[in-house]
Amino acid sequence: MKTCWFIVLLWIVSTFSGAVFAQKTSDSLARQAYLPDCIQYALGHQPIVRQSVIDQEIAERTVQSSLAAWYPQIAAGYNLLHYLKLPVTLIPDATTGEKRPVTLGAQNTSTASFSLTQSIFNRDLLLASRTADTYRAQASQTTVRNKIDVVVNVSKAFYDVILTQRQVDILTEDIARLQRSLQDATNQYQGGIVDKTDPQRAKIALNNSRAQQKQYRDLVGSKVQTLKQLMGYPPNLTLNLTYDTLQLANEVALDTMLLVNPQSRIEYQLLQSQGQLLEANVRYNRWSYLPTVNAIANYNLLYQNNAFGQLFSQTFPNSLIGLSVALPIFQGGRRIQQTKIAELQVQRLNWDLVALTSAVDAEYAQALANYKGNLANYLALRENQLLAEDVYRIINLQYRSGIKTYLDVTIAEADLRTARLNVFNSLYQVLISKLDVQRALGAIQF
């Protein structure tokens, strides 16, 4: 029996622990994280994206709140009054015709009222109903714009991290190669083949590579924290980034024959939504001469008595239904001025569209030029890397055969290290400029 209870207890503890662990790790990337994983995580956790989603909900609630005024508005009220001195009214005498003061009303009065109001025509409600979809679209477009910013920023930060990590790897390989060279130079020096300057040069090159590797390793930590911040990732959790160098090299291709269309940009769509709202505001101000029409219904329970203890012994109910119309006749020219202001705001927005169109064209031209230049530089540096590897291999063999000096080996090693680092620097620049081109084209969409 004790064994059964022990098994049940273990099952409960393991289930609870598993639930807690799942809750803790559900918001983390415990596995190896590729760029799509980082982007997906950022879209679900980045504060600005979450705020945009909340803003969409606020916009939806605001629309529903405004449209609720179309429904019947029911209200109830109650009051209890005790007159310290009853009001007096002058009433003509039935015989003499002279007005004499007469005290009216009861010492104690209580009223319970119920009212119903139904809007039939109201320009505020008409504006709300006609702009509801536009407000929703504007909130959604703002979320899309923020998501695009997050995707671009996270991608750039991801590329920056893996570039620095790759530089650390290159320097690690370079250090291993320099250590072998130092050992070879030391052996030749001890054998009397070369003088002591060869191992000294090897030691200098090794120390420089180690210092540079330490610098890049420190940079990796800071850049990973920057990436976490852009992703909305907990700073105290480990982020295991994974990348494929060949895949990155294959991603540099981009169709440079595409034509930019400003209307595909989310910024242009946001301005269009804003323009629709401003045009609706123009119509709203033009409607200011229209009446406000409401249907009303009231039911009141009136209690009156001079004795407070008998106040509710008798009721005097009354009720009514009616139609209220409020018609503005003269507003001192305010309607004309407000309408003109709204029209000028529309004109100003049209110029914003013109300016954005020009800016998009210029942005695309600059991004495309940067991409083409960076791509040409990347291809050239990749060829230089192959040449540097071949040169180092040949010179190293010649040095071992006694044909070349160690100075030639040192120069070849430095050229090879620089060529390999330059290739990944140029690859990073190509990928960044490609993102800029895609953003200018409006190709990053959600």
In the structure, how many helices (H) and strands (E) does the chain have?
9, 6
Residues 115 and 40 in one domain: no
Residues 53 and 191 in one domain: yes
Residues 239 and 302 in one domain: no
Instruction: Give the per-residue pLDDT at 29.
Output: 67
For 31-45, 95-109, 363-377, which range has the lowest pLDDT when averaged over its residues?
A: 95-109
CA–CA dist 320, 341 (Å, integer): 42
Computed over every residue of the chain, the mean pLDDT equals 88
Pairing of strands 315-326, 99-103: unpaired
* Residue 20 included in any domain: no
Residues 127 and 98 in one domain: no
Q: What is the pTM of this model?
A: 0.82
CA–CA dist 25, 95 (Å, integer): 96
| Residue 182 pLDDT exceeds 60 | yes
Residues 368 and 277 in one domain: yes
DSSP character string of 216-250: HHHHHHHHHHHHHHHHT--TTS---B---HHHHHH
Of the three residues 326, 349, 370, the one that is the final residue of a domain is 326
Q: pLDDT tens across 295-328, in order?
A: 999 999 999 998 888 999 889 999 999 999 999 8
Q: pLDDT tens across 387-396, in order?
A: 999 998 999 8
* Residue 1 included in any domain: no
Residues 96 and 177 in one domain: no
| 415 neighbors 391 (Cβ within 8 angstroms) | yes
Of the three residues 326, 342, 374, the one that is the final residue of a domain is 326
Average pLDDT for residues 427-444, to the nearest whole number? 94
| Residue 8 pLDDT exceeds 70 | no
* Residue 7 included in any domain: no
| Residue 30 pLDDT exceeds 70 | no
Residues 114 and 190 in one domain: no
Residue 21 pLDDT level (bands cut at 50, 70, 90): very low
Residues 281 and 209 in one domain: yes
> Is 48 in a helix, a strand, or coil?
helix
Q: What is the CATH number of the domain that holds 432?
A: 1.20.1600.10
Full residue range of the structural domain in which residue 102 is found: 74-120+294-326
Instruction: Give the per-residue pLDDT at 26.
Output: 47
* Residue 19 included in any domain: no
Residue 12 pLDDT level (bands cut at 50, 70, 90): very low
Q: pLDDT tens across 100-128, in order?
A: 888 888 899 999 999 999 999 999 999 99
For 14-18, 89-93, 298-302, which range has the lowest pLDDT when averaged over its residues?
A: 14-18
CA–CA dist 292, 48 (Å, integer): 41
Instruction: Give the per-residue pLDDT at 28.
Output: 57
| Residue 397 pLDDT exceeds 80 | yes
CA dihedral 253, 259, 263, 265 (to 10 degrees): 20
Average pLDDT for residues 210-220, to the nearest whole number? 91
Residues 422 and 340 in one domain: yes
Residues 153 and 42 in one domain: yes
| Residue 261 pLDDT exceeds 50 | yes
Q: Which residue has the tokens 């946001």?
A: 270
| 360 neighbors 275 (Cβ within 8 angstroms) | no
DSSP state of 313: G
* Residue 21 included in any domain: no
* Residue 25 included in any domain: no
Residues 165 and 42 in one domain: yes
| 294 neighbors 324 (Cβ within 8 angstroms) | yes
Residue 188 pLDDT level (bands cut at 50, 70, 90): confident
| Spatial CA neighbour of 326 closest among 127, 117, 129 | 117
CA–CA dist 293, 290 (Å, integer): 9
How many domains does one find in the chain? 2
* Residue 27 included in any domain: no
Average pLDDT for residues 152-171, to the nearest whole number? 92
Residues 307 and 354 in one domain: no
* Residue 238 included in any domain: yes
Instruction: Give the per-residue pLDDT at 247.
Output: 82
